[in-house]
Amino acid sequence: MLLVFGEIVVELAPDGQKDCWRSFSGGPLVRQALAAAATGARTRLLGRVGRDAFGRRVEEELAKSDVAAILQKDEDHPTSLMLGGERPAAYRLADAHLEPPGDAFFEGGTLIHGGAWIFGVDPARTTAVEVFHEGLRRGLALSLDLRLVRWAARGELDEVLRPYLPLAYMKTDAETAEALGIRPGELFQWAGQVLYFDEGSVRRLSLLDEKQYQLPPNVGPDEVYGRFLAYVAGGAEATTALERALAINRKDDA
C-alpha cells in the first residue's frame, strides 16, 4: 500500500475575468494520491482540513475516489489556501497543525510519500519527522515531493531531512533546484531515484545513470509521479515504473 501524508490545500487561480477565481481541491499531494489510486494502487492519505466549506469539498471529492482518506478536522484553523496569479502565495492554516497518526495509518504500507511543505512549519514538521521515523523503523521506503518552499533555505531542509537521506525516491523540478542551489548532478545525494521535471520533460536521475523522457501531451508532473509511485509500491523497478507511468492509456491501465 502507498501511504501519502502532508499538505492539503485548496488552490485558487484567476480565470481571466475580473474578480473571478477558479478553485481546485487538494493540491499536488492529493493529485498524486488520486493518480496512484486511479492506476490501481491501494492508497491511504493522511491530511488535515478545517471545518469549513473548502474542507467539506475536499472530503467529498476524496470520498468519490479510491483513496482511503484519513482527514483530521481542525476546529480552530480553516483549510489551507494556495493563491495563484502573478505572485503566488500560500496560506498555511489547518494542514500546518497536522497531528501524528495512529498505527492504523501504517498498516499494510510499503512506501511513504510526503511533501516538503509539511516539514517546514511546526507543529506539522514534528509530525512529519515522526511519520518518516516510524516508516524507517517499519522498513518502509521513503519518498518526498521537493517543491519550492519559501519558508526555508537549503540549509534548513538539509537539517530537517538529514536523518532520512538518501531517500528512496524524490520528485522535484528545475525551479526548485535552482532556488535551493542544488545542481541536478547533486540530487542523487538526496534520493536513490530522482524524477526531475522541466518544461515538458522528466529526467530519471540516480548515482549510476540518468535518462530523459518527454511528458505525454496534457499530462502533468503530479499525475506522472503518482502513477510512478503506484507502480513502485507494487514492486516495479524505478525505470520500469517511470516508463509505465508515462505510457498513459486511460482505457486500460492494467
Domains in the chain: ranges and CATH: 2-246 (3.40.1190.20)
Cell numbers linked to 1: 500500500
Distance, in Å, from the CA atom of 99 to the CA atom of 115, rounded to the nearest integer, reads 15
Distance, in Å, from the CA atom of 182 to the CA atom of 78, rounded to the nearest integer, reads 34
pLDDT digits (tens, 9 = 90+) for 120-170: 878 999 999 999 999 999 999 999 999 876 655 667 778 889 999 999 999
pLDDT of residue 101: 97
pLDDT digits (tens, 9 = 90+) for 17-27: 666 677 777 88
Distance, in Å, from the CA atom of 207 to the CA atom of 92, rounded to the nearest integer, reads 35
- Mean pLDDT for 77-97 is 83
Select from 202, 192, 46 the least CA-distant residue to 112.
46
Amino acid at 104: A
pLDDT, mean over the chain: 90
pTM of the model: 0.92
